[in-house]
Chain A
Amino acid sequence: MTLELRQIEKTLGTDVHIHPTDLVLEAGGFNILLGTTLSGKTTLMQLMAGLDRPTGGTLHFNGKDVTGMRVQNRNVSMVYQQFINYPNFTVYENIASPLRVARMPDAEIKKRVGAMADLMRLSPMLDRKPAELSGGQQQRTALARALVKDSELVLLDEPLANLDFKLREELREELPKLFADRNCIVVYATTEPIEALLLGGSTATLHEGRVTQFGPTGDVYRNPKDVISAQVFSEPPMNTATVRKVGDRVDLGGIAYWPCPAVLSDKPDGDYQIGLRPHHVTPAANTPDGAQDGCVKISGEVLVTELSGSESTVHFKVGPEVWVSLAHGIHSFGVGEVADLQADLSRAFYFGADGALISS
């Protein structure tokens, strides 16, 4: 089962919401759309569902062109960030709604809704109205309605974003199990890189209406194609700065120098971008040069320190950029203090002037 987007694009007046996009989504595993708010995740999903017409390109389901087919005639389900249920229907009727529209016999509806309610742990609430449920139960109802009809395409638009922390973790664990033995294409939009990593599958990184990279989630995380994909798939965002290669040395704006890495060795001298994930920038080690092997010491003025239990997040200035360090343990720096940190160069990404990753 495949859903194929061929040069799908959406413009509204002069605003480009989705740049021409090619994407092939497969059944089995989550297809994750990862991007910040307004990056086009929801628009892309609406185009996939058929709720919105693309201004260009075609949409193919199992090879068949379904562009412009009414959403009612497609076999699609959707769950939103807000808990969307029919307020005047009971939970039972909410879940049964797609089956009733399909004119399924009552006995069959009863069986299916019962089974789905058991799975979603909603059985005691079937006679209640959605407004009388907790947020988690409301979202479970919405999920139940999306899953009860065996649709071929299930679109989940940030389904966990409005839930409390605990409920979110609970439901996030359940989700992959719910879809494990279903033959359908699951598309899951999220703003959180961690959620993408936990759910696995494939990930498409979105930025300003463009899919910047698509592939197995782990690959996209480990081998970002360009600086934007890397920034989208990092929380806190990846630290970047301009470095200059001069001969066999690399210079970070006069703040630090290190020997030229292998990937840059056969590249011409000039400006490149370095990318370092926050957890690869840590407080300086207690060695004579202030850095462990393979690391370089970087000092900068501290802007903010956030302590969250066992982790410290330090925002500090590196030339014109603000970098973030994420380290285990409590490392308290005063605001305005010059902190000594070390960057793990073995984990550094180098990007060319065009933003593309330079790999060996």
Chain B
Amino acid sequence: MKRTAIVPALYIVFLMLPIYWLVSMSFKTTNEILGGFSLYPRDFTLENYIVIFTDPVWYTGYLNSMAYVSLNTVLSVACALPAAYAFSRYRFIGDKHLFFWLLTNRMAPPAVFALPFFQLYSAVGLFDTHIAVALSHTLFNIPLAVWILEGFMSGVPKELDETAYVDGHSFWSFFLKIFIPTIAAGIGVACFFCFMFSWVELLLAKTLTAVEAKPIAATMTRTASTSGYELGLLAAAGTLTIVPGAFVIYFVRNYIAKGFALGRV
């Protein structure tokens, strides 16, 4: 091996170690995990995964998470598209301030909002529903999506809009048939970021749910159960929680850097 490859190799090993540990734990029995130090599963078992896919306590957690995350992603991007278009194409009083104010929503810790949201959603009867979590997550996902989409939209010359109007397209015909396909990559990136933040957010999701819409992360962080520590099971749940993110990121891998720069190059 070339000497120059040593540093990156060590770096990757260092990065992957916790993930390897998690995956390796998920194939071990709880006794082996607690019994001593082992680098790889000696009694290789799929029992943990079987429990997760068959026990409703576990798999409904995934279904609940999927439900509110998808709902949130659709809501956020659907609201952010017209907003970002307005910020990118029009000048109006206070536009710059409003645009910045959107981002400040991300600066407050979610804990600040946990109490008012809990009280508000309980009062209107939305407590413990998927829509409650999805709505609460739009608080930080819409601003993010607006910023990302605005960046991508501003990269499209406004002459494209004008050309479409000159050709006879109405606004909606232009927006749906021409503009949205043009910024498809941006929409993909915005969806990914909304997905990611909603998927990993724990505090609001936990506060606003009890039984019906309980997210997987809440189930997973419950370390002890009636049958004692179920570490193998928790590791398997953790592994499965990583998978959707890895799956989604694959589709937008070429645009992620631009997304982190909020669509600005």
Query: Separation in Å of the B122 CB from the closest CB of chain A?
Result: 46
CA distance A71 to B174 in the complex (A): 14
From the candidates B166, B167, B169, B184, name the one contacting A51 in the complex (CB within 8 A): B166
Q: What residue of chain B has the Cβ atom nearest to residue A72's Cβ?
A: B168
Query: Separation in Å of the B74 CB from the closest CB of chain A?
Result: 22
Binds B, one of A58-66, A79-87, A269-277: A79-87
Considering the complex, which residues of chain A in the window 128-184 have a beta carbon less than 8 Å from any beta carbon of chain B? 142, 145, 149
Chain B residues with CB under 8 A of A86? 160, 163-164, 178, 182
Report if A49 contacts B (CB, 8 A). yes
Q: Are A77 and B166 in contact (CB under 8 A)?
A: yes
Q: Are A98 and B167 in contact (CB under 8 A)?
A: yes
Q: Are B163 and A101 in contact (CB under 8 A)?
A: no
Q: Are B159 and A72 in contact (CB under 8 A)?
A: no
Q: What residue of chain B has the Cβ atom nearest to residue A76's Cβ?
A: B166
Report if A78 contacts B (CB, 8 A). yes
From the candidates A46, A82, A88, A97, name the one contacting B182 in the complex (CB within 8 A): A88
CA distance A142 to B162 in the complex (A): 13
Q: Are B160 and A84 in contact (CB under 8 A)?
A: yes
Report if A262 contacts B (CB, 8 A). no
Instruction: Give the total number of A-B pairs whose CB atoms are below 8 A apart.
Output: 53
Per DSSP, chain A at the interface is mixed
Report if A107 contacts B (CB, 8 A). no
Q: Are B167 and A101 in contact (CB under 8 A)?
A: yes
Q: Are B159 and A97 in contact (CB under 8 A)?
A: no
Report if B125 contacts A (CB, 8 A). no
From the candidates A78, A84, A102, name the one contacting B168 in the complex (CB within 8 A): A102
CA distance A84 to B170 in the complex (A): 18
Chain A residues with CB under 8 A of B116? none
Chain B residues with CB under 8 A of A84? 157, 159-160, 163
CA distance A142 to B160 in the complex (A): 11
Per DSSP, chain B at the interface is helix
CA distance A288 to B107 in the complex (A): 82
Chain A residues with CB under 8 A of B173? 101
Report if B181 contacts A (CB, 8 A). yes
Query: Separation in Å of the A25 CB from the closest CB of chain B?
Result: 17
Q: Are A97 and B157 in contact (CB under 8 A)?
A: no
Output the residue of A72, A89, A98, A149 with the most chain B CB within 10 A. Answer: A72
CA distance A80 to B161 in the complex (A): 12
Query: Separation in Å of the B207 CB from the closest CB of chain A?
Result: 42
Query: Separation in Å of the B157 CB from the closest CB of chain A?
Result: 6
Query: Separation in Å of the A316 CB from the closest CB of chain B?
Result: 41
Query: Separation in Å of the B241 CB from the closest CB of chain A?
Result: 35
CA distance A78 to B168 in the complex (A): 12
**Number of contacting residues on A, CB 8 A?**
22
Report if B165 contacts A (CB, 8 A). yes
Considering the complex, which residues of chain B in the window 133-187 have a beta carbon less than 8 Å from any beta carbon of chain A? 157, 159-160, 162-170, 173, 178, 181-182, 184
Given A72-B170, A98-B167, A145-B167: A88 and B178 interface contact (C-beta under 8 Å): yes
Q: Are B168 and A98 in contact (CB under 8 A)?
A: yes
Query: Separation in Å of the A149 CB from the closest CB of chain B?
Result: 8
Q: Are A51 and B160 in contact (CB under 8 A)?
A: no
Chain B residues with CB under 8 A of A87? 181-182
**Residue interface mask A320-353, B partner, CB < 8 A = 1:** 0000000000000000000000000000000000
Query: Separation in Å of the B254 CB from the closest CB of chain A?
Result: 15
Query: Separation in Å of the A162 CB from the closest CB of chain B?
Result: 12
Q: Are B181 and A101 in contact (CB under 8 A)?
A: no
From the candidates A49, A78, A88, name the one contacting B181 in the complex (CB within 8 A): A88
Given A86-B182, A88-B178, A88-B182: A72 and B165 interface contact (C-beta under 8 Å): yes
Q: Are A78 and B162 in contact (CB under 8 A)?
A: yes
CA distance A231 to B175 in the complex (A): 43
CA distance A145 to B178 in the complex (A): 15
Chain A residues with CB under 8 A of B181? 87-88
Chain A residues with CB under 8 A of B167? 77, 97-98, 101, 145, 149
Given A82-B157, A84-B157: A72 and B169 interface contact (C-beta under 8 Å): yes
CA distance A149 to B169 in the complex (A): 13
Q: What residue of chain B has the Cβ atom nearest to residue A153's Cβ?
A: B166
Chain A residues with CB under 8 A of B164? 86
Considering the complex, which residues of chain A in the window 74-116 have a beta carbon less than 8 Å from any beta carbon of chain B? 76-78, 80, 82, 84, 86-89, 97-98, 101-102
Q: What residue of chain B has the Cβ atom nearest to residue A151's Cβ?
A: B166
Given A82-B157, A84-B160, A86-B182: A101 and B166 interface contact (C-beta under 8 Å): no
Q: Are B157 and A78 in contact (CB under 8 A)?
A: no
CA distance A51 to B171 in the complex (A): 13
CA distance A142 to B163 in the complex (A): 9
From the candidates B157, B166, B170, B182, name the one contacting A49 in the complex (CB within 8 A): B166
Query: Separation in Å of the B172 CB from the closest CB of chain A?
Result: 12
Output the residue of B160, B168, B169 with the most chain A CB within 10 A. Answer: B168
Taking A76-B166, A82-B157, A97-B169 as known contacts, 5 extra A-B pairs with beta carbons closer than 8 A to each other, sorted by chain A number, are A51-B162, A84-B163, A88-B182, A98-B168, A101-B167
For the complex of A and B, the 5 pairs showing the least CB-CB separation, nearest first, are A88-B181, A101-B168, A98-B167, A80-B159, A84-B159
**21 A-B pairs in the complex with CB atoms less than 8 angstroms apart:** A49-B166, A51-B162, A51-B166, A72-B168, A72-B169, A72-B170, A77-B166, A80-B159, A82-B157, A82-B159, A84-B163, A86-B160, A86-B163, A86-B164, A88-B182, A88-B184, A97-B167, A101-B173, A102-B168, A145-B163, A145-B167
